[in-house]
Amino acid sequence: MPAERFVEQLNTQIGHEFAAHQQYVACAVYYDALTMPQMARFFYSQALEERDHAMMMIKYLIDQDAAAIVPGVSAPQVDFADVVAPVELALEQERRVTAQINELTRIAREEGDFASDQFMQWFIKEQVEEVATMSDLVAVMRRSRDNIEAVELYVQREQGRKSTDPTTPAIAGG
């Protein structure tokens, strides 16, 4: 059974992951409305990843006979100043999630909860990738804010390269 402090914080994180899902859907809709299909596809895909992260956490808690709680989330931001703003928001969000994941890992270690510590290692690795992806995309968006086609070509070329990781945690219902 995972440590009580860890379970409480992981349930909070489930809410953060679902909120990130909603925010990425809002970003995708924004780009879809601007007829930027590659950016829309990228953010729809990111939204599904965030949902899957929440479902991995739910599955872990269920498998550990701990209470899994699905909290409500606040409405996402839907209005953006320009085409760069949603990606800047996403980078901020990924940096915040990285700090949350690190905190979860710290709690697991403080509590001597080795199974939960091990579970969190995949998320630590995932956050390195997510921050790097969003950092690169922010740089491209800032450089090409007046050349949407260049952005679309970059996303099409660079974001289709996802590899399968055999250490990925199972998803509830998956």
3-class secondary structure per residue, 82-101: CCCHHHHHHHHHHHHHHHHH
From residue 78, how far is each of 26, 33, 58, 62, 129 by CA, in Å?
6, 12, 27, 33, 25
pLDDT tier at 166 (50, 70, 90 boundaries)?
A: confident
Q: Which two tokens mark 64?
A: 């550990």
Per cent of the chain over pLDDT 70 is 98
pLDDT tens-place string over residues 116-134 = 999 999 999 999 999 999 9
CA dist 38 and 148 (Å) reads 10
Question: What domains are there in the chain, each with its CATH number?
Answer: 4-158 (1.20.1260.10)
Judged by average pLDDT, the poorest of 19-33, 95-109, 152-166 is 152-166
pLDDT tier at 96 (50, 70, 90 boundaries)?
A: very high
* Predicted pLDDT at 168: 86
